[in-house]
Structure 1
Amino acid sequence: MNIRSSLPRPQRIRSLFEFLERNKAINLRIQRGYVAESLAPKRVADCALLLMQRVLNTQSQPKLDPIAKFLQAAFKSNALRSCQEFRCWLLAQTGNENIREALGHWQGWGPKTAALFVRNLAIIEMAPHLRKRFWPDVDVLRREEIEVPVDAVILEIFAHLGPLVGKALKNYKTINNYLRDELEYSAKEMLVWDDLWFWGFITQRSAPQSQGGGRTVGWNEGKYWSIPHAPRRPADVAQIMRLSREFVAHLVPNGTSQLAVTKRRA
């Protein structure tokens, strides 16, 4: 039985989570479309390889040599045919069968990329039409601690949010510890928090040097149209634009959608 700690969830955190929960279908559709592209090959092992490659290629400066060694070793050892075979292979290689933890310490992966891969596995696990095309025994929701794949977009959000809740939330570890350990959000709820990336990405832009550089917060149509599988119907785009203003209102002290500037490098 999970007993809640005495630490209350701040109102601003609760209201932001409620916003994400109400609108999670938008990003879920996008992420399912993205993941489905990786499940196009006929062989399950090829799907797993493609899923890993696409996640690893989200890195700004991937370390290709250690990544190649990892992918070759996993593929040639037939470790990618099922979730259990992959866990057994990780256990033999690292002494840890936890996918996120083992990959997080592997050269070429790192915590953020490992968390993103596990996030994608969770999306597959929850969608029967995706699961039947992949590892039928995928079980990360029960066996893994889901973490938010914190990157520059999410760091920017917590640069605004942290001071409002009296917390210094400045890196991957402090953000995940706060949401998962201190506030005790469940695995499925951490997946909802992952939607911060979508809403943050479409509401951030680089600020002019005349304004001090960094990033401003507000609707960014160019970024929205760069996202594969995002809704394109004019009515849907208008709704998401309206919701983006609501999202920004959670990040500024007076609850409005005014622009705010942080001097974080874009």
Structure 2
Amino acid sequence: MSTVRNKDDFDWTQPSVGRLFEFLQEHTKWNREFQEREYARCLAGCHSARERLTSFLHLNVSTQSSADMNDLLGFWKTLHGAAPEQTASLKAFTAYLVDSSKGHAKNGKSPFTAREAETDDWAALFLALHARPGWGIKTTALFVKAAIRLHRGPQALHFWPDAWQGSAGSLQSKPYLPVDRVILHIFKTLGHPCPRVENINSGLRNRYSAEQMLTWDDLWFWGFFTQTGTDGERELGWNSGKFWSQLSSSKNDETQLRSLGETFIGLLTAKS
């Protein structure tokens, strides 16, 4: 009998996954506060909603190591040419992207359907962005997720009045996680035979609600500060150098965060 495991052969119901989610739920404030400081730092010099939107788009795209600037050229020109009313709301900006993309649609599977986009503004934005050259699935997922988070935080940073997330539970569609190498390593440590962006999202979105998917997004925060090295050479352990290099990290709380980071690592390495 073959002992080769299927690349998607991972038990999402195992206790270790549940315990990891409980940890993220209990300590979600740390990533939320970190991200809010990042957003405030990026948008502090903006004088209008249009400037905040533009800066926020650049912030999220610039974090992607594989972003192709030449592919994105058309998008930035389209954004620059938009009339004020075409960027003034989530619905208007999405409609503008759709109209300006006609005849130039990009091939590629999206995690959202056209039917979902008819009833959910965030799903519609995801489809509209992902159709643009240069907007890969991870970059699109990152911006949409970040925009959801931003519009749940301080209103002074908002750029779309119709995107305000006034209460938990208001999300209709499940956010698609921007899975990067940090998160891939987490699931590899948990025992996933072949973690990928698609199968991690599929596994989580099949079992968790829209609000819970935002909680799973906190994986990046804990993974980022507890990993050293790159790709196949990653090691687990609190990374003080990385922590202190981040302008938005809570320096006065490092002792507590180090302890929580060690708990996080223990959850990844414990036997189910």
The two structures have a TM-score, normalised by structure 1, of 0.80
**Distance (whole Å) between structure 2 residues aligned to residue 188 and residue 38 of structure 1:** 25
CA contact (8 A) 2:141 2:175 kept: yes
**Distance (whole Å) between structure 2 residues aligned to residue 69 and residue 46 of structure 1:** 19
2:174 aligns with 145
Q: Deviations over 1:71-97 (max 9, x none)?
A: 220231233222111111123244766
Q: Deviations over 1:35-85 (max 9, x none)?
A: 223433112111111100111101113211221220220231233222111
**Distance (whole Å) between structure 1 residues aligned to residue 80 and residue 42 of structure 2:** 16
Which structure has more relative contact order (CA 8 Å, sep 6+)? It is 2
Deviation at 1:144, TM superposition (A): 4.2
1:54 paired residue among 55, 59, 64: 59
1:126 paired residue among 142, 152, 163: 152
**Distance (whole Å) between structure 1 residues aligned to residue 12 and residue 133 of structure 2:** 37
Q: Deviations over 1:13-40 (max 9, x none)?
A: 1110110111110110010111223433
**Distance (whole Å) between structure 2 residues aligned to residue 128 and residue 192 of structure 1:** 19
Deviation at 1:8, TM superposition (A): 7.6
Unaligned segments of structure 1, at least 5 residues: 1-6, 208-212, 256-266
Q: State which drifts further: 189-198 or 138-147.
A: 138-147
1:238 aligns with 255
Q: Runs in 1 of length 4+ with deviation above 6 angstroms? A: none
| C-alpha RMSD of the superposition | 2.3
Deviation at 1:145, TM superposition (A): 3.1
Deviation at 1:149, TM superposition (A): 0.7
Query: 1:1-266 to 2 correspondence within 5 Å?
Result: 9-40=13-44, 41-78=46-83, 79-94=86-101, 98-130=124-156, 133-138=158-163, 142-161=171-190, 163=191, 167-168=192-193, 170-181=195-206, 183=207, 185-206=208-229, 214-233=233-252, 236-254=253-271
**Distance (whole Å) between structure 2 residues aligned to residue 63 and residue 71 of structure 1:** 12
Matched residues, number: 235
Partner of 1:126: helix, strand, or coil?
coil
Partner of 2:67: helix, strand, or coil?
coil
Q: State which drifts further: 122-131 or 148-157.
A: 122-131
Deviation at 1:105, TM superposition (A): 3.8
Unaligned segments of structure 2, at least 5 residues: 1-10, 103-113, 118-123
One-letter code aligned to 2:17:
I
CA contact (8 A) 1:217 1:248 kept: yes
